[in-house]
Structure 1
Amino acid sequence: MASTEDEFRSICLNLTSEEAMLGGCNYSSEYENGELLEKVVSRVVPIFFGFIGIVGLVGNALVVLVVAANPGMRSTTNLLIINLAVADLLFVIFCVPFTATDYVMPRWPFGDWWCKVVQYFIVVTAHASVYTLVLMSLDRFMAVVHPIASMSIRTEKNALLAIACIWVVILTTAIPVGICHGEREYSYFHRNHSSCVFLEEQGYSKLGFQMSFFLSSYVIPLALISVLYMCMLTRLWKSAPGGRVSAESRRGRKKVTRMVVVVVVVFAVCWCPIQIILLVKALDKYHITYFTVTAQIVSHVLAYMNSCVNPVLYAFLSENFRVAFRKSIIGAPRTKRERKRENSKSHNVMYCPPPYNDGMSGRPQPTKTTRTGNGNSCHDIV
């Protein structure tokens, strides 16, 4: 019996080391779930986290490879896509293996310094990914709502400058994260343990930290993305004078609308559960049960899945990207039949503003087209 009790205490510590230090594990009430919780941690977590890690690494690495191997793809939009892939790649590297370690081991094996580094880069890469999504929504907003003015703004130089700015700001403002985290040694049930935790006993406010993370990494970017896309769709769906809209234009609008809804919903759904759980923990309202432990694991999986889904949403759904992918990975030239079939398909939805003197066309309409020699006046939307 003593051996089984030790196993349960160990699993309780592995799952929520901070709560265990505060006496959050109730042995008498949760003992029956001990073996089940142990199985969840030792079997399910490595499988799911390992799968997410592999998919995230491969998907984002392919995005970087394809854009880097095709100089013709280095537009402002694709620069943002490659930055998103880099941020998501680093997020997967710094989050998945170390979070999995925290779940399955009773001790933090990497030391105090690496604890600070990991926590710092988790926050940095999460913010870099999220605010790249904000930049992408701003890029699409400018292309649709201000198509003429944006021609001089949406340049590669300005895109690189914006990317550099968000990295510098995030890297600088996240420095306190490393300071207020560290490895903590403690004894529980006559056993020595350690964990990488928020150093609340040194005077840092865990609730204040978590609230700032919740606002800066979820509420504010979600609000910005939603508002920018709503303004874009409002402009896109305004009919031309007389209310005549071509079937092709209507299909393009519907495609853009679906894309926007999917982007916003995926971001909101993937990040909401983990944000709620972290807030509940900061408020000391988190109680260890089979349900809460399962919810915590699922919330981590969803958050990490967002970095796996982003390459699909922003890169692989693009016809131009898929063509470049085949060219880069397969390397075989397309046949005449393949080119003909490809030309008959719908390409990326692009927004092409009319000439200044086109008084009959009314507001610019979205069209499905490919870039021509003077295609710089058209802006990719999807």
Structure 2
Amino acid sequence: MDNFTENFIGNTSASNLTAFWLRWNLSAYWLDWNQTDYWMDWNQTDHWMDWNLTDYWLDWNLTAYGIASNLTSDGLTAVAYVMPTVCGVILLIGGIGNSLVIYIVARYSEMRTVTNYYIVNLAVTDLAFLVCCIPFISINYLMYGWIFGKTLCTFVFYMMQVTVQATCITLAVLSIDRYCAVVHPLRSINFRTPKVAAITSCCTWIGSYLLALALGMNLQLIEVDNFGPQEICKDIWPNPYAQRSFMLYTFLITYVIPLLICTVSCSLIVRSILNRFSMNHAQEADVDAQLARRTSCMVVGVVVLFAVCWLPNHVINMWAVFKPVMQNISETTYWLKTVALILCYSNSAVNPFVYTLLGENYRRCIKLSFPCLFRQEQPKQGSFSAKDASNEVVKMTCFDPDKPK
């Protein structure tokens, strides 16, 4: 044993030596643990930020400029011009179609039925969705960044969420309304009134504004390197669980629950109509039954279009948030997301054509409102049958607009 060891042991009691050794070990362990914990926290934070910046485009309303840096120059040129061009056509068609639906119902008082009130509300939500989405998204594809400032960042993307939720809730309400009209026409006659429909439509908008507040409070402008320093409008959440919760909430509120309500309602409507026809198979179906069937088919068509057009977008969003491995987005995935967005926008533009193709009254009112666009014989009588709020047949005149009182 050397002199240093002998002197150290001789001058230090066993208890002191043990305490010193424990303190030294604990200090070293604490430093190591602190460094490891700090490194893990920093890594997790950095990983989450990188993941947020890489995958932010996969949000349904923030896709336009998300992974431009991951694409080739040819791919960028294609998407920068194809997407705005297609969206411009959709905006033109959807704007004219939805405005025409609103105009027809506003012009002819006999068209102001319960079902048409909900259809007008659906047209308003579709029109607002197209106006909020397409101009800004198209510019983002060309500019690779958000150039409109913080105020419009919050307003535009908040309104996107509001209009989508209002559309989905209106579809569910419309399906329930048709179920009451077809399956329980007598029981529903007291509450299926235009006034109740107008109040319900207003409540739909109020509820949509409230449900979208979570997104509005988390929208921010952040700077990224996307062909140079660019600002993007992005929803920033405190942690991954908050973003996943919001995405799951959006999927349920704007797709699963409304679609489930619509599916159940439409199934019961179809069963009721089939039972009605089977009981009267020996007789020609009356006008009431034909009109009920035609209106119900119109609602079913709108629901099916909604389900088909919005499914790809929701699937991609859920995959992006819940996928186990974070990785760079491929060009194929980017184009799939772009096509999914085009389908979403197309849904809002196609709905008016469903009304006119399956709604005879809409077609007649359009022809009478714009006679120069249609070649038709002079009608013998200026009226036709239409369904009102309680499913009875009324006489409707589409020749002259309402005169102001």
CA distance in 1 between partners of 2:367 and 2:259 (Å):
34
The CA deviation at 1:170 is 1.1
Letter in 2 for 1:216: I
Counterpart secondary structure, 2:72? helix
TM-score (norm: length of structure 2)? 0.72
1:180-216: CA deviation from partner (whole Å, max 9, x where unpaired): 1111113468x31211112135788211111100000
Within 5 Å, give how 1:40-119 maps onto structure 2.
40-119=78-157
* Unaligned stretches of 5+ residues in structure 2: 1-50, 58-65, 397-405
The CA deviation at 1:58 is 0.9
CA distance in 2 between partners of 1:102 and 1:275 (Å):
21
Judged with a 3 Å threshold, the aligned counterparts in structure 2 of structure 1 residues 215 and 290 are, in CA distance, closer, same or farther, namely: same
Q: Which of 210, 216, 236 is residue 247 of structure 2 equivalent to? A: 210
Q: Which of 211, 215, 220 is residue 257 of structure 2 equivalent to? A: 220
Number of equivalences: 334
The structure showing larger relative contact order (alpha-carbon pairs under 8 Å, at least 6 residues apart) is: 2
Q: Name the counterpart of 2:352.
A: 311
The CA deviation at 1:317 is 3.0
* Unaligned stretches of 5+ residues in structure 1: 1-15, 354-368, 374-382
Decide which moves more: 196-205 or 307-316: 196-205
Within 5 Å, give how 1:1-382 maps onto structure 2.
18-19=53-54, 34-187=72-225, 191-200=228-237, 205-239=242-276, 244-248=281-285, 252=290, 259=298, 261-283=300-322, 287-315=328-356, 317-330=358-371, 337-339=378-380, 371-372=394-395
Counterpart secondary structure, 1:238? helix
1:326-374: CA deviation from partner (whole Å, max 9, x where unpaired): 233348999875447997xxx7689998xxxxxxxxxxxxxxx95359x
Letter in 2 for 1:119: F
The CA deviation at 1:246 is 3.1
Q: Percent identity?
A: 30
**Is the CA contact (8 Å cut-off) linking 1:18 and 1:197 kept in structure 2?**
no
**Is the CA contact (8 Å cut-off) linking 1:318 and 1:348 kept in structure 2?**
no
Letter in 1 for 2:54: E
TM-score (norm: length of structure 1)? 0.76
Counterpart secondary structure, 1:200? coil
CA distance in 1 between partners of 2:74 and 2:54 (Å):
19
CA distance in 1 between partners of 2:333 and 2:88 (Å):
22
**Is the CA contact (8 Å cut-off) linking 1:144 and 1:351 kept in structure 2?**
no
Counterpart secondary structure, 2:125? helix
1:114-141: CA deviation from partner (whole Å, max 9, x where unpaired): 1111111001001111211111111110
CA distance in 1 between partners of 2:135 and 2:151 (Å):
17
CA distance in 2 between partners of 1:278 and 1:21 (Å):
10
Rg larger for: 2
**Is the CA contact (8 Å cut-off) linking 2:194 and 2:389 kept in structure 1?**
no
Judged with a 3 Å threshold, the aligned counterparts in structure 2 of structure 1 residues 187 and 21 are, in CA distance, closer, same or farther, namely: farther
Cα RMSD after superposing both structures: 3.6
The CA deviation at 1:102 is 2.8
CA distance in 1 between partners of 2:185 and 2:225 (Å):
63
Decide which moves more: 141-150 or 192-201: 192-201
